[in-house]
Amino acid sequence: MLGGLALCRNIKQIRAVAVAGSLVLIGMSVYLLLEYLALPALTHEHPMHFYDSWVWFESLNIHLAVGVDGVSIAMILLTSIIVFAGSFASWSINQPKAFFLWLILLSTGVYGFFISVDLFTMFMFYEVALIPMYLLIGVWGSGNKNYSAMKLTLMLMGGSAFLMLGLIGIYYNGPVVDGAHTWDITQIVNNGGVEKGWQYFLFPITFVGFGVLGAMFPFHTWSPDGHASAPTAVSMLHAGVLMKLGGYGCFRVAMYLMPEAAQELSWIFLILTGISVVYGAFSACVQTDLKYINAYSSVSHCGLVLFAVLMLNQTAMTGAVMQMLSHGLMTALFFALIGMIYGRTHTRDIREMGGMMKIMPYLAVCYVIAGFASLGLPGLSGFVAEMTIFVGSFQQGMSEFMAGAGSLKLVFTIVACCSIVITAVYILRVVGKLLLGPVQDKHHLELTDATWWERLSTVTLIISVAAIGCFPNFFADLIRETFSGEIFKAVL
């Protein structure tokens, strides 16, 4: 199972290695999924399957502990698919050897993060995943790349500085197992959790630390610049997977380990994420650069993930993970398509383009499909995820309102619901301007449609989007388990 990490790192300067490697990864993820489904349900004592732990730094009780539950498996699956599609999308990149090396280092960090159960190794993999971004954007990016790469790296590392303090704090204020403090998440939870007084200090800094990567409202500004400057595959991987690290960390570490503080302080973050949802959507409406539109739409959708997680309701939280999957796939699809269009027209400004439906029908149709997924058309993944989130949030908001516990959740659910309408506005605006309408530049008439590797990349993603849309129950059942009140104590 750790084989996910053992991806062929001996780079030969051929794409075949990257593609074969990512295929192997998909194969392994699916195998992992099948194995996992055969196992009995998770229990309070054993919240992770395939749990394994090796001592690393004995004196500090640091282990290399791994284990997965339904959510991590879903995330691993998502990563594999996007890495696969990403290697096809960067078929003709400069200096492929170095590029794929960094890309693989990045995905190593991501896989490591999703399977880690030990806070130290988790944090280490988290940072391993962040730093290749600097070089990937700086060297292979476009536009104002120096600025964006630096901004992105510094903001994310700033988040991880808070995180480091939070994690060491959790370590020292967690329970003592066998005469020593422990970094192991499952052990911390099963032995009484973090000391209550400290939770009110540690929960916010940990949540903010991960929230920066999840593009939470005041800390989201790295995201549009970063995505706009990054090369295609990196945008895909970053929006598709890396931003999920933030959301995943928020509930796996901050909320899972500190349930009391999560219940009492969630309102602060609920307001912030509520703002990201709506603000991101409105910002996307006025952008003219395709990548900026998508980046802001990512802010909005990722805000929704955190928003749903903070509802502390099993249905909403399941929806949050569904949204992670759905958003990951469809944003990757978006960025792949934008990269392909940009590679042909050399502009991303929607005012300078038009009538793409005639010129490159294949890409245009894909774009429409991605757009529909994003605005929540039934049958595609976006609908399933958002539906689950809003149903769960509404339930929670309503029951709290009825119990006289304030109407905050209810009000913010209604506010967040508005974002669906705004999403439709900006998606349809782009579709109208870019794909339909008159051709703005007659040079564009000579452009060609997608090549076979581009088709392969997009088809993979579209199939996955449709799969979630058509078989939501399968994924929901996989995920729900983690958020049952028995295992996840923060759930109300």
Q: Which residues bind other proteins (CB under 8 A)?
A: 56-60, 62, 120, 124-125, 127-128, 131, 134-135, 138-139, 145-146, 149-150, 153-154, 157-158, 161-162, 164-165, 168-169, 171-172, 201
How many residues appear in the chain? 492
CB of 295 to other proteins, least distance (A): 21
What is the nearest approach in angstroms of other proteins to the Cβ of residue 444?
A: 29
Q: Nearest to residue 190, comparing CAs of 334, 298, 44?
A: 44
In the complex, the smallest distance separating the C-beta of residue 169 from other proteins, rounded to whole angstroms, is 7
Instruction: Name which of 122 and 369 has its Cβ closer to other proteins.
Output: 122
Distance CA 140, CA 199 (A): 42
- Which tokens is 186 given? 């499952």
Do the Cβ atoms of 305 and 74 come closer than 8 Å? no
Whose Cβ is closer to other proteins: residue 147's or residue 471's?
Answer: 147
What is the residue type of 442?
K
Please check whether residue 409 is in contact with residue 390, taking contact to mean a CB–CB distance below 8 angstroms.
no
Integer Cα distance of 8 and 6 in angstroms: 6
Name the phi and psi angles at 385, rounded to 5. -65, -50
Residues 6+ apart with CB under 8 A from 192: 175
Is residue 51 classed as helix, strand or coil in its secondary structure? Answer: strand
**C-alpha span between 326 and 114 (Å, rounded):** 17
For the CB of residue 347, give the shortest distance to other proteins in the complex, in Å.
22
Question: How far apart are CB 209 and other proteins at their closest, in Å?
Answer: 10
Q: Which is nearer to other proteins, 2 or 286 (CB)?
A: 2
Within its chain, how far is the Cα of 187 from the centroid?
26
* Sign of the dihedral defined by the CA atoms of residues 263, 188, 201, 317, in that order: negative
| Residue 125 or 296 having the CB closest to other proteins | 125
Nearer of residues 127 and 289 to other proteins, judged by Cβ: 127
Comparison of 138 and 437: residue with beta carbon closer to other proteins:
138
Question: To the nearest whole angstrom, how small is the minimum distance from the Cβ of residue 294 to other proteins?
Answer: 24
CB of 56 to other proteins, least distance (A): 5
Tell me the closest approach of the beta carbon of residue 111 to other proteins, in angstroms: 14
- Cβ 97 to other proteins shortest distance, Å: 11
Closest to other proteins by CB, 132 or 355: 132
Pick between residue 155 and residue 330 the one whose CB is nearest to other proteins.
Answer: 155
Q: Give the whole-angstrom CA distance, residue 432 versus residue 317.
A: 34
In terms of CB distance, is 25 or 130 closer to other proteins?
130
3-state secondary structure of 311: coil
**N-term to C-term CA, the chain:** 33
Q: Which one, of 109, 103, 65, 64, lies nearest residue 84 by Cα?
A: 103
Q: Which is nearer to other proteins, 150 or 271 (CB)?
A: 150
d(CA 125, CA 113): 5
In the bound state with other proteins, the residue whose beta carbon lies nearer, of 10 and 59, is 59
Secondary element (H or E) of residue 269: helix 259-286
Could you tell me the smallest distance in angstroms from the CB atom of residue 195 to other proteins? 11
Nearest residue (CB) to other proteins, 45 versus 58: 58
Q: Is 181 exposed, middle or buried (0-12, 13-18, 19+ CB in 10 A)?
A: middle
Task: Tell me the backbone φ, ψ of residue 71, rounded to 5 degrees.
Answer: -65, -45
Alpha-carbon separation of residue 374 from 95, 280, 287, 291, 436 (angstroms)? 33, 14, 17, 15, 19
Comparing CB distances to other proteins, the nearer of 141 and 328 is 141
Please state the closest distance from residue 21 (CB atom) to other proteins, in A: 20
CB neighbour class for 408 (10 Å; exposed up to 12, middle 13-18, buried from 19): middle
Structure token digits, residue 489: 């104590």
Shortest distance, CB of residue 201 to other proteins, whole angstroms?
Answer: 8
Instruction: Give the number of other CB atoms < 10 A from CB of residue 300.
Output: 27
Q: Closest distance between other proteins and the C-beta of residue 131, in Å?
A: 5
Inter-residue contact 323 to 385 (CB < 8 Å): yes
